[in-house]
A and B are shown apart, each in its own frame.
Chain A
Amino acid sequence: MEEKLTLFKNRKRFGIEKNIDIIFKNTALFFSSFVAIILLGIFLVVFFQSFESFSRYGLKFLVTSEWNPVKDEYGAFSAIYGTLVTSFLSLLITIPLGVGTAIFITEDFVPKVLREIVGSFVELLAAIPSVVLGLWAIFVMEPFFRAFFVFLHNFFGWIPLFSTEPTGRNSLLAILILVVMLLPIVTSIARDSLNQVPKKLRNAAYGIGASRWKTIFSVILPAALSGIMAGVLLALGRAMGETMAVTMIIGNSNAFSWSLLSPGYTISSMLANQFGEADGSQVSSLFYAAFVLMILSLVVNIFAQWLVKKFSLKY
């Protein structure tokens, strides 16, 4: 087939038509290389803008949590810690929920119509803008969970994670709203991977007398694992970079605390809050923080892609 195509293309053409053809091809080539140009541009711009801060603080920036524009001292530890904690904990809650929902959609517990409704509902959830989720979190979720947080603090206050008195916005609320945002991603990718597992595997397991859930746990889930893992990693990258909903509900405080019930910070919420009115070396420090965020999400994304390529189902 390839041969035929080259044969046609090698046929001689003359005049304007040939030129248009060449121009068209090169324009398309130019547009497709735009992706690389933009990626490289983002990387270089953020790197060079953060250079001043990088040369002044070096790697110390990552482990100190002083953020003082008056004294010109900057360290992003609180924000980096907040980014990692909120994204990992939210993922921890999302994985069983999302995979459980995906199993519900792909198995036949209930009629197909019902399952399809649940499936498209979850996918519609992904279409809701994060700023609207943030608004909802402020006015609906926070009052709803307030009593529960007080309860958590009163009974489990001895655990450092719940050691502060809950006062309004906090990291735990940010984690919960992240769960709502990640759920559609994990569910839809897990569903696609489960659907790709061939039917004969299931029939073979049933044939040797395995029960439905024995089959799911020992045959179907392992077969779909790589796809699910890739979805989880994509969700992780998304959670790290998520800005609006988190910024609106996390409380935005740079004071470091182990407690999830105290206000926190993430890199992206720090950027959203301070970038507009920052000047001087604060701007450079914010670019440094943005650079850290970019590297974090790049690593997670590239790892996810590698995983998909390496372990994509070969049935």
Chain B
Amino acid sequence: MSRNIGDKFFTSLSVIFALIAILPLIFLVTYILIKGGSQITPELFTLEPNPPGDDLDAGGINPALIGTLIITTIASIIAIPVGVGGGIYLAEYSKGGAFSRFIRFGVNVLAGVPSIIAGVFIYALIVSTKILFGSMYSGLAGGMALSILMLPTVIKTTDEGLKLVPNELRYASLGVGASMYTTILKVTLPSAFRSIATGVVLGIARAAGETAPLIFTALFSYYYISGFGDLFYEMGSLAVLIYNFALEPYDAQNKLAWAASFILVLSILSVNIFSRILAAFTEKTKRV
């Protein structure tokens, strides 16, 4: 009898803990949907934000939205080829020797480096040295800082995705006389494509919300992005906009921060949910 009571107690405790664990997400998401969603207007997507002050109208988030797209694209352009290439080496060429063990260890260590350290690093390397044609804070520098955070994710998903490809496929391809690179590019990489793509997309979604590496590399800008040259100047992003405007004492700026959060969270969550469904779907079709 007493053991039943003990068991009941712990069971309800674990149910309560699980409830506590999901409550923040439910509160958070509903609050953002209501508070942020109510700020969404067409002008939000087309206007520049007004500098904080007594202006009642805060303007829009167009430069930050475009900035986030540009900075994440730059980060992807750097991190995806390097990461996929590195993953290919680890999975296809290295034979589990000391070098590959060291690199895999390094990937895990790099994944654990605090994101603000990536910002500090790029600040010292690019921003303070003005090495990029004399420009200091720039969207380019921000993209580089983000790429450092994306790199471990991309290498890891490529490495693990390729390892799941059955060896028979490689033997078949090499057996008919294909070279190693043809085998990788035409056989193994395509058959691991879906799992790699899912991981990479999740990595991009994660990077899009990162703020710490951007606050002193890309900084922030209130102005429209008009051309290619703007890459070398300060560039706004949704994440930094939320940070800056959340700390402003003015209500109009706070509301803009909520609107930006709405857009950021909605896009990140939908990417996550979509890739989750896709992964579940893939698993089901594989079993058949």
Contact = CB atoms under 8 A, between A and B. Distances in A.
B7 to A, nearest CB: 5
Contacts of A31: 81-86, 89
B42 interface: no
B38 interface: no
Contacts of A135: 242, 246, 257-258, 261
A298 B117 CA distance: 12
A24 B86 contact: no
A59 interface: no
Contacts of B86: 28, 31-35
A28 B85 contact: yes
A242 B103 CA distance: 25
A100 B14 contact: yes
Contacts of B21: 97-98, 101, 118, 122, 183, 187
B18 A104 contact: yes
A305 B239 contact: no
Interface residues of B, number: 97
A201 interface: no
Interface string A41-76: 110011001000000000000000000000000000
A233 B280 CA distance: 29
B227 interface: no
A8 B118 CA distance: 42
Given A42-B113, A128-B28, A248 B246 contact: yes
Contact of B268 (A2, A105, A129): A129
A152 B243 CA distance: 29
A162 to B, nearest CB: 22
Contacts, number: 267
A208 interface: no
Contacts of A118: 18, 21-22
Contact of B120 (A20, A98, A287): A287
Candidate in A36, A49, A127, A286 with the most chain B CB atoms within 10 angstroms: A127
Interface in B115-151: 115-121, 123-125, 148, 151
Contact of A35 (B121, B152, B205, B273): B152
Nearest to B87: A32
A293 B86 CA distance: 28
A244 B212 contact: yes
A136 B120 contact: no
A17 B179 contact: yes
B288 interface: no
B95 A32 contact: no
Contacts of A28: 85-86, 88-89, 92-93
A275 B123 contact: yes
Given A29-B93, A100-B13, A276-B216, A35 B211 contact: no
Given A31-B82, A241-B116, A268-B116, A100 B95 contact: no
B109 A39 contact: yes
A156 interface: no
A274 B211 CA distance: 15
B103 A234 contact: no
B90 interface: yes
Interface of A: 1-2, 4-5, 8-9, 13, 17-18, 20-21, 24-25, 27-36, 38-39, 41-42, 45-46, 49, 96-98, 100-101, 103-105, 107, 109-110, 118, 120-122, 124-125, 127-136, 138-140, 180, 183, 187, 211-214, 216, 234, 237-238, 240-244, 248, 268, 271-272, 275-276, 286-287, 290, 293-294, 297-298, 300-302, 304-305
9 contacts: A20-B181, A39-B110, A100-B13, A131-B242, A216-B10, A240-B114, A244-B243, A248-B246, A290-B117
